[in-house]
């Protein structure tokens, strides 16, 4: 049955089903016949039905089995095919990976892959080779382990951007080569995921360092080309011959004088701009370039819209196709207007230069290095009677005598060797005879600084040489005449000053004697006339030196404050005679030790102070000295001389400081003078690097000011002796009308730490002192200034002594009106000190210290009831206390009159005087006696003063040095220099004047002098 099923299974299934039903029906009929004996038709029906069901099930099982078999067969076949396909795919993948690795390893770019932690999982061989890594060295390592930290951090930032955005990006990154060279890389980075979904970053990079450099160089080149074209005002054009279209660079419109908007840019528009006079020439150049295949080059004019004419330089080339047919022209256009104008100017300049050269009276020539003439002017041709053609290309040997040619060639060689201009004196045979010339020869250099020629300019000095010889003779004669004139001036100065010395000196002595009023008036007229005449002589001599340029300044150390005090002393007598207050206010910042010319500075001060006194009838004359500028090495001082005189009108001020000029003629008639004083002062202040000026108004006085520059000295003379006791806290009553003198006293008292209280007059002062005594704070001292006339101080002192509350207060009287007998009256009235203006600050301090010092009686007890019991203090008594020794002075002069005058004046000044009549006698006297000072006349018979001074200095050797003062009737700067060279220390000009002589003694004597002896 199974085999039967199998047989049917292999057949068609419906055959099997119907066969099974028929067979089941037949068998059921057979079984019914056997069992029942007859045929039962329900058996076949049941059997057919069961057979149909069973066969259907069997058919279904067979179909399922056949499907399973087919499925199994298909599975075996598919598995075989899949295995074959997988094997083929793996082979393809392996080949693909090999191709990828080979491709990446031979790629010019470096490539890499990193995981999301930044660890490298792949790099190509280019990466390994570029960064010198062995295979596998990079695996699992981060950028921080392979590159510098800064580079690695930049790479990490870019990687994180890729992972965060999930998009590929490009970067330009900088990384160093192993040798440290920084390289620029174009980098393309992209994200991707692995099979397990893990994120990675891949990247490729190409070295663009060279490209970056080329791009930078290209940008620079393009910028340079643009700047060059702009600077040169050059444009570029491209003309298509076939279409007639023209392309222009952007700046061409500017060259054509148009804006970009108004410039059409067509070929016709360009031709419309061309100057009609140049149009045909332009078109001809274009046709010739196209037809003859030559370079297009032309310069032509165009007309700008504003009507101005400009020049253009056009250049171009014709481009042709393979058949040689012209298709395009390309070129440049350049604005050359400036060059054309320069060429025109240069042509004009060359023509002008040639005209100048040809009309120059000098001979001008040019030679090459071999000495051949390259060019000469017409004067050169005329001088040697040669044509230009005959000279050019020739040498000196071919044109001149051998001797002359040798000199010319030698001088040329000197210029070539020195490579700088040189000057020579040459003699040549002109057509009219030998002539001497000053020849200025100079080298000529080309653009490469190579010397290529020698130029020369020869000026005929034959006539000048002759004039110089005549001038030399005239100069010698003039110098001899000047020497004789100087000797005459010196002699005349000496001869004038010698009798003037006698007149003035003896007049001063006469005035010191007992005279009747008429005799004294006559003597004073003589003295004033002599002083005025001496002033005129001094002004004329100083002015003559200024005009001759021979006035020079000396630079010596001196005490500036002491010089001011001495100057005020010199001028004080003039102020006293007119009843004027003379006050000197020196600012505390003014230094004492300076370097300069004290004599000339004193001359300026005396002139200004003298003028102020001369033009002031009442009031005061004040000198104020302040610091205008204080530097490390020098100081600029300012002096102001203020008066209460007649003043000067604006018209009159314009005439000041001019020679021989005064405000008006009436001034000269009333006050006298030469009009040279202020002019000399102006020149002296300028020599001292300063200036001078004035301010004034008629009837309101004047203020003259000046500045001088002085060097700072090494040390200052002490203006306050260290031995003076302290005066701090002492109370002083200052009685007097407010003014400059009062201001001086206030400053002097305050500078010593004293308390000064001002009162307008004696009455107010007495009230103040009584009140202070009643309050228990009495005054220690009172300073009373006389305002109207002498005698006020004595009367005030008597009032003080009559008051029991005030009698013990010392009284100091300051006056400008001191006369003979006033000091005695003041002493009798109980005045402690009697001082005349001008007062020196140091002298006032000594006076205050002396007056306030305790006074003891003969028993040694301090006086208390009767007031101070000391002699009257005066300026001279204070000087006498300083040193009571009389200076021992030697006067050396061969003139009896001069001896008498000098001895008389010196004895008046408290000196012991000896006389020597010759230089030899003076030398012997100095050897035998120790003198404090010598006055030496310079001009004496036999051994003169210069020789005597030199001999004395020689004998002194290194021992003590006695000061020698030269006495001379003339004082030029050369004379002073000669005196100092001979060993003398200072100079004094005759005639001798009492105040100048006293100042000289104070300057050089260690002992003080006393005019009252």
Q: Is 507 part of a structural domain of the chain?
A: no
Count CB-CB contacts under 10 A for residue 976. 18
Verify that 845 and 973 share a domain, yes or no. Answer: no
pLDDT digits (tens, 9 = 90+) for 783-823: 988 765 567 778 888 888 888 888 888 999 888 766 666 77
**By residue range, what is the domain housing residue 429?**
359-466
Residue 718: predicted pLDDT: 42
Residue 910: exposed, middle, or buried by beta-carbon count in 10 A (0-12, 13-18, 19+)?
buried
- Characterize the bridge pairing of strands 912-916 and 888-892: parallel
CATH number of the domain where residue 252 is located = 3.30.450.20
Listed residue (434, 433, 432, 414) closest to 423, CA to CA: 414
The verdict on 568 and 681 lying in the same domain is: yes
Q: 288 and 331: one domain?
A: yes
Is the pLDDT at 661 greater than 70? The verdict is no
Residue 669 has pLDDT above 60, yes or no: no
pLDDT confidence of residue 546: 63
Residues 332 and 455 in one domain: no
Residue 716's pLDDT is: 43
Same-domain status, 179 and 296: no
Which residue, 466, 501, 533, sits at the end of a domain? 466
Give the C-alpha separation, 658 to 635, whole Å.
28
> Strand (E) positions, 58-181?
110-115, 120-123, 169-176
Closest CA to 651 of 638, 661, 636, 637: 661
With CA atoms as reference, report the closest residue to 783 among 775, 793, 773, 772.
793
What average pLDDT does range 248-262 have in this prediction? Answer: 84
User: What pLDDT shows up at residue 973?
Assistant: 64
Question: Based on the number of CB atoms within 10 Å of its own CB, is 122 exposed (0-12), middle (13-18) or buried (19 or more)?
Answer: middle
Both 285 and 382 in a single domain? no
* Contact (Cβ atoms closer than 8 angstroms) between residue 500 and residue 534: yes
Tell me: pLDDT of 638 over 90: yes
Sign of dihedral through CA atoms 882, 888, 890, 895? Answer: positive
> Which residue is listed with tokens 């029991």?
804
511: left (phi over 0), alpha (psi -120 to 50) or beta: alpha
Tell me the residue ranges of DSSP E strands in 104-154.
Answer: 110-115, 120-123
Paired with 541 in beta bridges are none
**How far is it, in rounded angstroms, from Cα 82 to Cα 75?**
10
pLDDT at 889: 92
What CATH number is given to the structural domain containing 615?
Answer: 3.30.565.10
| Contact assessment for residue 589 and residue 626, using Cβ atoms and an 8 Å cutoff | yes
CA distance 978 to 984: 9
Domain boundary pick from 342, 376, 406: 342
Residue 625: the pLDDT is: 92
991 and 902 together in one domain = yes
pLDDT band at residue 949, thresholds of 50, 70 and 90? Answer: very high
- pLDDT (average), residues 249-268: 84
Q: Is the pLDDT of residue 360 over 60?
A: yes
**In 166-266, alpha helices (H):** 209-231, 252-255
| Token couple for 225 | 């080309």
What six digits make up the tokens of 673? 């003078």
Is 228 inside any structural domain?
no
Same domain, 683 and 736: no
CA distance 467 to 475: 12
Q: What percent of the chain has pLDDT over 90?
A: 13
Structure tokens at 758: 């001002």
Residue 754 lies in a domain: yes
The count of structural domains within the chain is: 6
Per-residue model confidence as pLDDT tens digits over 67-115: 887 888 888 787 878 777 777 767 776 776 677 777 777 777 888 899 9
Residue for token pair 């010089």: 563
Band of the pLDDT at 756, cuts 50, 70, 90?
A: confident
How many beta carbons lie within 10 A of that of residue 31, not counting itself?
14
- Asked whether residue 690 carries a pLDDT value surpassing 90, the answer given is yes
Residue 369 CA: distances (Å) to CA of 357, 376, 413, 445: 22, 16, 9, 11
SS3 275: coil
Q: How many CB atoms lie within 10 A of CB 412?
A: 21
Residue 58 lies inside a defined structural domain of this protein: no
Rounded CA gap, 452 and 530, in Å?
77
238 in a structural domain: yes
* Averaged pLDDT, 174-197: 86
**Is residue 477 situated within a structural domain?**
no
For residues 270 and 136, membership in a common domain is answered with no
Q: Both tokens of residue 423?
A: 């000057």
Token pair for residue 622?
């004040």
User: Computed from CA positions of residues 773, 775, 779, 783, in that sequence, does the dihedral angle turn out positive or negative?
Assistant: negative
Structural contact between residues 789 and 817, judged by C-beta atoms closer than 8 angstroms: yes
Q: Cβ contacts of residue 560 below 8 Å, gap of 6+?
A: 590, 591, 592, 593, 594, 637, 710
Same domain, 458 and 603: no
Q: What is the mean pLDDT of the chain?
A: 80
In a shared domain, residues 573 and 635: yes
Q: Tell me, what's the pLDDT at 897?
A: 72
pLDDT, mean of residues 636-652: 87
Q: How many angstroms separate the CA atoms of 710 and 558, rounded?
A: 11
**Which of 390-404, 683-697, 967-981 is predicted least confidently?**
967-981
Q: What is the mean pLDDT of residues 126-144?
A: 84
State whether 738 and 690 are in the same domain.
no
Q: Does 309 or 76 have the greater pLDDT score?
A: 309
Residue 105 to residue 735: CA distance in whole angstroms: 116
Of 664, 681, 712, which closes a domain? 712
Is residue 493, in this structure, part of any structural domain at all? no
CATH number, domain with residue 780: 3.40.50.2300
Report the pLDDT value the prediction gives residue 721, as an integer from 0 to 100: 44
Q: Is position 177 within any domain?
A: yes
Average pLDDT over residues 239-266: 85
The more confidently predicted of residues 946 and 511 is 946
Q: Predicted confidence band at 866 (pLDDT cuts at 50, 70, 90)?
A: very low
């Amino acid at each position: 049955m199974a085999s039967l099923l199998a047989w049917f299974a292999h057949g068609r299934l419906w055959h099997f089903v119907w066969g099974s039903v028929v067979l089941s029906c037949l068998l059921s009929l057979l079984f019914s016949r056997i069992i029942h004996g007859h045929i039962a038709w329900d058996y076949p029906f049941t059997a057919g039905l069961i057979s149909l069901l069973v066969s259907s099930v069997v058919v279904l099982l067979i179909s399922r089995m056949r499907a399973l078999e087919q499925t199994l067969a298909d599975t075996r076949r598919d598995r075989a095919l899949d295995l074959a396909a997988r094997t083929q795919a793996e082979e393809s993948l392996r080949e693909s990976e090999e191709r990828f690795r080979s491709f990446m390893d031979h790629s010019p770019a470096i490539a890499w892959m990193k995981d999301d932690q930044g660890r490298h999982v792949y790099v190509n061989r280019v990466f390994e080779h570029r960064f010198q890594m062995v295979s596998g060295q990079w695996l699992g390592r981060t950028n921080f382990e392979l590159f510098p930290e800064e580079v690695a951090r930049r790479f990490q930032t870019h990687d994180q951007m890729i992972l965060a955005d999930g998009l590929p990006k490009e970067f330009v990154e900088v990384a160093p080569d192993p040798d440290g060279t920084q390289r620029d890389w174009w980098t393309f980075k992209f994200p991707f995921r692995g099979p397990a979904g893990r994120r990675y970053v891949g990247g490729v990079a190409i070295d663009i360092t060279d490209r970056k450099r080329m791009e930078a160089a290209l940008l620079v080149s393009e910028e340079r080309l643009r700047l060059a074209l702009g600077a040169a005002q050059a444009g570029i054009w491209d003309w298509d011959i076939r279409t007639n279209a023209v392309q222009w660079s952007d700046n061409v419109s500017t060259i054509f004088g148009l804006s970009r908007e108004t410039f059409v840019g067509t070929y016709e528009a360009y031709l419309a701009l061309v100057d009609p006079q140049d149009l045909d020439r332009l078109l001809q150049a274009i046709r010739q370039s196209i037809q003859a295949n030559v370079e297009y080059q032309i310069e032509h004019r165009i007309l700008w819209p504003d009507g101005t004419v400009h020049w253009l330089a056009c250049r171009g080339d014709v481009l042709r196709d393979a058949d040689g047919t012209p298709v395009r022209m390309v070129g440049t256009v350049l604005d050359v207007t400036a060059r054309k104008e320069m060429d025109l100017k240069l042509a004009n300049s060359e023509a002008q230069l040639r005209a100048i050269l040809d009309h120059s009276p000098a001979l001008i020539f040019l030679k090459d290095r071999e000495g051949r003439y390259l060019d000469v002017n017409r004067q050169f041709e005329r001088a040697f009677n040669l044509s230009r053609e005959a000279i050019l290309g020739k040498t000196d040997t071919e044109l001149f005598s051998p001797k002359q040619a040798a000199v010319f060639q030698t001088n040329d060689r000197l210029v070539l060797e020195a490579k700088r201009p040189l000057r020579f004196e040459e003699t040549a045979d002109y057509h009219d005879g030998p002539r001497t010339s000053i020849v200025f020869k100079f080298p000529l250099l080309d653009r490469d600084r190579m010397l290529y020629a020698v130029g020369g300019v020869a000026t005929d000095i034959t006539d000048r040489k002759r004039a110089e010889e005549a001038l030399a003779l005239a100069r010698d004669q003039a110098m001899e005449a000047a020497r004789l004139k100087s000797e005459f001036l010196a002699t005349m100065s000496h001869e004038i000053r010698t009798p003037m010395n006698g007149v003035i000196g003896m007049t001063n002595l006469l005035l010191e004697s007992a005279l009747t009023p008429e005799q004294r008036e006559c003597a004073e007229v003589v003295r004033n006339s002599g002083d005025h005449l001496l002033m005129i002589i001094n002004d004329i001599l100083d002015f003559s030196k200024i005009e001759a340029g021979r006035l020079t300044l000396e630079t010596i150390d001196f005490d500036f404050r002491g010089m001011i005090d001495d100057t005020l002393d010199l001028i004080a007598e003039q102020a006293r005679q007119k009843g004027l207050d003379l006050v000197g206010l020196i600012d505390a910042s003014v230094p004492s030790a300076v370097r300069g010319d004290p004599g000339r500075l004193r001359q300026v001060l005396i002139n200004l102070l003298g003028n102020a006194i001369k033009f002031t009838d009442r009031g005061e004359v004040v000198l104020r000295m302040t610091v205008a500028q204080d530097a490390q090495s020098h100081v600029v001082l300012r002096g102001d001389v203020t008066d209460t005189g007649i003043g000067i009108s604006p018209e009159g001020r314009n005439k000041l400081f001019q020679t021989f000029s005064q405000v008006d003629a009436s001034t000269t008639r009333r006050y006298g003078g030469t009009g040279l004083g202020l002019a000399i002062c102006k020149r002296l202040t300028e020599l001292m690097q300063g200036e001078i000026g004035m301010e004034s108004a008629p009837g309101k006085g004047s203020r003259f000011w000046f500045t001088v520059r002085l060097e700072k000295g090494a040390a200052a003379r002490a203006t306050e002796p260290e031995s003076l006791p302290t005066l701090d806290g002492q109370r002083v009553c200052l009685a007097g009308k407010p003014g400059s003198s009062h201001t001086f006293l206030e400053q002097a008292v305050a500078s010593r730490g004293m308390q000064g209280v001002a009162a307008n007059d004696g009455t107010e002062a007495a009230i103040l002192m009584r009140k202070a005594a009643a309050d228990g704070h009495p005054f220690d001292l009172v300073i009373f200034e006389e305002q109207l006339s002498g005698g006020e101080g004595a009367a005030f002192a008597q009032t003080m002594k009559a008051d029991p509350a005030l009698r013990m207060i010392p009284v100091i009287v300051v006056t400008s009106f001191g006369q003979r007998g006033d000091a005695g009256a003041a002493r009798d009235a109980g005045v402690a000190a009697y001082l005349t203006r001008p007062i020196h600050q140091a002298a006032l301090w000594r006076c205050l210290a002396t007056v306030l010092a305790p006074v003891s009686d003969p028993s040694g007890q301090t006086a208390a009831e009767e007031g101070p019991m000391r002699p009257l203090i005066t300026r001279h008594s204070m000087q006498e206390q300083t040193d009571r020794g009389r200076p021992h002075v030697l006067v050396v002069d061969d003139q009896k009159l001069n001896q008498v005058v000098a001895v008389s004046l010196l004895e008046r000044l408290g000196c012991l005087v000896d006389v020597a009549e010759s230089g030899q006698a003076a030398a012997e006297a100095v050897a035998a006696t120790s003198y404090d000072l010598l006055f030496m006349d310079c001009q004496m018979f036999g051994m003169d003063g210069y020789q005597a001074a030199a001999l004395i200095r020689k004998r002194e050797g290194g021992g003590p040095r006695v000061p020698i003062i030269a006495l001379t009737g003339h004082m030029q700067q050369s004379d002073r220099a000669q005196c100092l060279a001979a060993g003398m220390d200072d100079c004094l000009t005759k005639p001798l004047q009492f105040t100048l002589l006293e100042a000289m003694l104070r300057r050089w004597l260690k002992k003080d002098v006393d005019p009252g002896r």
